[in-house]
Structure 1
Amino acid sequence: MRFPPTRTLWAGLALCAALQPGIAAAGTEPSGLLAFHWELREVLDAQGHIQLGWNLPPDIPGAGAARAVRLDFTPDQVIVGQLCNALSANYQLHDHTLRIGPMIGTRRACPETGVMALEQKVEQRLPEANVWRLETHGLTTPRLILEFADGGKWVLDGTPTDASFYGGPGEKIFLEVAPERVACQHPQMPLYRCLQVRALEYDAQGLKTRVGAWENWYGEIQGYAHQPGVRNVLRVMRYPKAGAPADASAYAYILDMTVESEIVR
């Protein structure tokens, strides 16, 4: 039986694809930044002492490790995730040099204790980064090091983005999900109940231009947890899956955002 690669293995493969030979060790290839989500593992001061107070409690009380600040890089922006408000800034690279502009973001009140204080710390600290490098030697996943003008460091662990994991940018589609599952003939699970979905299309102004027919959905949508009695319109990223078995879907479907949600009585 042939098993698909794990994400740990894919992390190494994605990094090899992102960093050209001879550059990986130096860590100056920007595509390496773009291919991964970067989660903050350690914050160090100039003397190498670990600084506390840079993460949040788990989403579910008592559920293991703290929640980490996450950085994502686009070609021209760095985006801070896994907090409450969305923060982002423009940035520039030149070899190992990093320049991050002022952070901008939403300003909604956050109910979690300490989250707004942490956002302010990140907003003030991140633009002070001036050096970056990637470490890969002897690691199963890549590591991003950000160095600051005062000698402090951030150490961040990388996991592949969906685009790098599946080997392409993916396709954005819209799906309406009916409020109730239905009995269906799943080839591998006799008692399986399918989602009912139909494809939607929108024009550039956001007006609905096409509504497809209802169909049984024999798989799941990663990141989507269906609630009985709730109708949803989802924006989903569709990625081709290389080497998918003949009796399985040729695509991976990953939730991008919930566009509409309605309780149906």
Structure 2
Amino acid sequence: MQKFQRSSPRLPARFPARFSAMLASAAIAPLAAVAFLSACTTTTTADTPGAGASLSQTQSDGPQRWELVRWQQADGGLRELPRGDSGQPVIFEFNSGIDAAQGTVSGNSGCNRFTGSYGKTSTGIRFDKIAGTRMACPGDRMAFESALLRAMQSPLTTVASQPSAAPQGRQIIWKTADGDLLQFAEREGVGRRGAKIDAASGTEKIVYIDSQRVECTGVGRMQCYRWRETEDAPWKLWYGPIEGLDFEQGVAYKLRVREYQVPNPPADASSIRWQLLKVEERRRGG
């Protein structure tokens, strides 16, 4: 693991008008129509993990996964967000949720995996003791990762948040020390927020996942997992995410998952969900 200095992931083209208006200025006013909370203060080096008020009006509800969906630079320009070899976005995983006073964080920073800690400050969040793997990626992804890790070296100010009751799900915007705005959206697994389900209704099963994702067609062109229930069974396609799995291209997996039936799923979503319980085996090369 490469140790970084003390410190410590694209939005659809139809970016909601309410966010465009909100991001037009660093002085962000409350948007009552979408229940945004805003703050325009600036963090200082006096902020320490675990200090200050909560990031939002909710309490920690366990592990949370957040995707970086937009990066607006201080001059108004947008930084292009990278995707991994299998299409994975930039994801932050907070072990106790972003509302916790402190905890551990891990995820994908554009190229490599990172781990570290985080804590609340009086105006936002702070990342600390961030270390990452040392895999080489194309130059644009490496440059993005360097910029993100550099931004995480200073506390981030919460300038707006959208509660989970909103139709698009919970979102938050943090401002970097350089004035850039980082917008994150809460995710289940690496995909969209799923429908609420009864945990008691799930059944455990073992699935084998191929080492390569393949191009497939759902409501559009996408990348699918290849899976099977036994090692000698023919491959099938899995169109959705596997919640909790950070898939690494070139690595085959034997997983224990909980399978849920989703009542009344959206037209473009599966009626079945998989939640990772345990990685039983992983081997490189399939």
1:219, 1:142 → 2: CA distance?
A: 30
If asked which structure has higher relative contact order (CA below 8 Å, sep 6+), I would say: 2
Higher relative helix content? 1
Please name the residue that 2:91 is paired with. 70
Helix, strand or coil: the match of 1:55?
coil
Q: Which string of whole-angstrom CA distances, capped at 9 and with x for unpartnered residues, describes residues 18-65 of structure 1?
A: xxxxxx8552435379544322313232xxx324445237859xxxxx
What do residues 224-264 of structure 1 show as CA deviations (whole Å, max 9, x unaligned)? 9xxxxxxx54224324335489xxx996336787713667x
Please name the residue that 2:151 is paired with.
125
Task: Choose from 238, 241, 244 the match for 2:261.
Answer: 241
Q: How many residues align structurally? A: 193
Counterpart selection for 1:101 from 128, 132, 143: 128
CA drift of 1:154 comes to: 1.4
Gaps of 5+ in 1: 1-23, 61-65, 179-194, 200-213, 225-231
* Structure of greater Rg: 1
The reply on whether 1:160 has 2:160 as its aligned counterpart is: no
> 1:43, 1:54 within 8 Å by CA — same for their partners in 2?
no
Change (3 A) 1:221 1:140: closer
- Relative to structure 1, the CA distance from residue 78 to residue 30 in structure 2 (aligned partners, 3 Å threshold; closer, same or farther) is farther
**In 1: Cα distance, 2:89 partner to 2:62 partner:** 18
Is the contact between residue 39 and residue 158 of structure 1 (CA under 8 Å) also seen in structure 2?
Answer: no
The Cα offsets for residues 179-217 of structure 1, whole Å up to 9 and x where unpaired, read as xxxxxxxxxxxxxxxx75239xxxxxxxxxxxxxx7899
Q: How far apart are residue 153 of structure 1 and its match?
A: 2.3
Show the 5 A alignment for 1:23-102: 26=37, 27-29=56-58, 31=60, 34-45=63-74, 49-56=75-82, 69-75=90-96, 76-81=103-108, 83-94=110-121, 96-102=123-129
| SS in structure 1 of the partner of residue 153 of structure 2 | helix
The alignment's TM-score, normalised by the length of structure 1, stands at 0.52
Unaligned runs of 5+ in 2: 1-34, 38-55, 97-102, 211-226, 243-251
Give the percent of matched residue pairs that are identical in Structure 1 and Structure 2.
Answer: 16
State the match for 1:253 in structure 2: 274
CA distance in structure 2 between the partners assigned to 1:171 and 1:159 by the alignment: 22
Where 2:144 maps in the other structure, the secondary structure is helix
